[in-house]
Amino acid sequence: MFGTVVVGVGIAGLARIRDLMNPVPSSPSEHLKLLGFVSRRSFGNINEAKQISLEDALRSKEIQAAFISTENRSHEETIRMFLEAGKHVLVEYPMALSAKAAHELWEMAEKKDKVLHVEHIELLTEEYKQLKKEVAGKDLVKGTLHFTGHVLDENKTGFPAFSGIARLTWLIDLFGDLTVTSATREKQKDKNYSRMTVHFQTANK
């Protein structure tokens, strides 16, 4: 059994706690044992999972892996701490707010001989697998992907492009490497509205 800790208890963190406490039979999750969760807020226990301090999670010899589900801006620092402590790390996307930091973290994990996995659960769903089958062998001529969401706190989530990075991962997985040809941003502060429009080109133009 691998001892694990969940760091951050927003929507993603609570889902992690739920899934680790009720693993799907015969799934790899059955080999993971949730030993606690870390949060800046005080909860006590959540569904029998006990709250522990970050320091205890880093020091514990029983905890071999951390699931990081905090806000984007803190991912990099939290990954570094757990890798330094000799733990495997699974982090919700994005891993860091810059490619440079991400490469440094990959190298650090390699040197420590630890797994550093960036999770994008949408790519594992049956719906996405079906979509991938449908586009296999076809050439993309033109397409539009539009999605909406609530206004994000950029101090926590980073530049708006990071709120759309999941969809960018979709496109790269489906159509290969993409080049940004243009990007614009529109803001209407009085309406608390922001929109980013990005045009990409595939390798075969």
Q: Please compute the mean of the pLDDT values over residues 43-72 and round it to a whole number.
A: 93
Residue 66, pLDDT score:
98
Considering only residues 152 and 95, tell me which one the structure prediction assigns the higher pLDDT.
Answer: 95
Token digits of residue 50? 């006990």
Residue 114, pLDDT score:
97
Is domain 134-202 given the CATH code 3.30.420.40 in the classification? Answer: no
Instruction: Give the integer Cα–Cα distance in Å for 9 and 49.
Output: 12
Q: Would you report the helix, strand and coil content of the chain in percent, each value rounded to 5?
A: 40, 25, 35
Q: What is the pLDDT of residues 159-191, one digit of tens each?
A: 777 667 777 888 889 999 999 999 998 988 888
Tell me which residue of 109, 205, 97, 204 sits closest to 158, measured CA to CA: 97
The pTM assigned to this predicted structure is: 0.77
Burial pattern 181-197, b for ≥16 Cβ within 10 A else e, equals eeeeeeeeeeeeeeeee
User: Domain spans of the chain?
Assistant: 2-121, 134-202
Residue 153, pLDDT score:
76
Considering only residues 20 and 156, tell me which one the structure prediction assigns the higher pLDDT.
Answer: 20
Q: What is the pLDDT of residues 56-70, one digit of tens each?
A: 999 999 999 999 999
- Angle at which helices 99-112 and 72-84 cross, to 10°: 20
Q: What is the pLDDT of residues 82-92, one digit of tens each?
A: 999 999 999 98
2-121 has which fold? Rossmann fold (3.40.50)
What is the C-alpha R_g of the chain?
Answer: 19
Residue 27, pLDDT score:
83
Do 2 and 32 contact (CB within 8 A), yes or no?
yes
Q: 167: Cβ–Cβ under 8 A, 6 or more apart, which residues?
A: 145, 147
Domains 2-121 and 134-202 share a fold: no
Flag whether pLDDT at 158 surpasses 80: no
Q: What is the pLDDT of residues 100-154, one digit of tens each?
A: 999 999 999 999 999 999 988 788 888 999 999 999 988 888 988 887 877 777 7
Flag whether pLDDT at 196 surpasses 90: no
